[in-house]
């Protein structure tokens, strides 16, 4: 059986180039599932999650758009 690279449907696919769209969908799917599990299990609140997203967004924006000195 060819193990290959698995996609979101767990069907084997050809290895090779992955599109930005595929990476985006994969990342969004995993992030959404993880956040929902943590919230459902009561480990974090939705508000804590949203606050952390806001903090991380600000951090990434500083990295991607540094202020000239």
Per-residue pLDDT of 6-41, as tens digits, reads: 555 666 566 788 899 999 999 999 999 999 999 999
DSSP annotation string for 11-61: -EE--S---HHHHHHHHHHHHHHHHHHHHHTTSS-HHHHHHHHHHHHHHHH
pTM: 0.63
User: What are the angstrom distances between the C-alpha of 52 and each of 7, 30, 57?
Assistant: 28, 17, 8
Predicted local confidence at residue 66, as pLDDT? 81
- The predicted-structure confidence for 42-64, as pLDDT tens digits, reads as follows 999 999 999 999 999 999 999 99
């Amino acid at each position: 059986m060819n193990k290959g690279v698995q996609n979101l449907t767990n069907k084997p696919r050809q290895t090779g180039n992955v599109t930005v769209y595929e990476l985006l969908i994969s990342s969004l799917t995993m992030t959404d599932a993880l956040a929902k599990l943590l919230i459902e299990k009561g480990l974090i609140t939705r508000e804590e999650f949203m606050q952390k997203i806001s903090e991380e967004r600000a951090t990434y924006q500083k990295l991607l758009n540094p202020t000239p000195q």
